[in-house]
Amino acid sequence: MASPFKSRMEHAKEMKEEDKLYTYNGVIYPVIMCPEENLKAIESLEARTDDVMLVAYPKCGFNWMVAVLGKIIAAATGEKVSKESKRPPLIEFFEPENLKDLQHAPPPRCLGTHMHPDYIPASFITMKTKMLVMFRIQKTR
């Protein structure tokens, strides 16, 4: 059985170019990775006070910072960092049915997003979730 990611990529090959992007709340998103139902579902995602959210624009060093966060969380919780440790899921990639699994994940949950901070689910603000926001200074060459 093909992974969901591979089946999405196969589906993308059959799509017309103009159907691969859409606008949601004034922002352009790729249909394959963040379909509209994903974005609607995360609006109701319940945050926890012990969550850690990495908010980074693409190409800002997200994966590098995930490694740093993983080591910090491991040191704080006493867990061992393994090479198999996964990067935090980008919440906008989660399908609605996968969000249910996320709700049952043990604390602390380390999550990530490339969404603009204005579009992060409201519960992350009201629950005072710890957020690390990364910016990149674009340098010209």
CA proximity to 103, closest of 115, 91, 119: 91
- Per-residue CA distances from 33 to 30, 39, 119, 133 (Å): 6, 11, 17, 22
User: Any idea which residues carry the catalytic annotation?
Assistant: 114
Asked if residues 82 and 140 have their Cβ atoms less than 8 Å apart, the reply is no
φ, ψ at 71 (rounded to 5°): -70, -40
What phi, psi does 81 have (nearest 5°)? -85, 125
128: left (phi over 0), alpha (psi -120 to 50) or beta: left
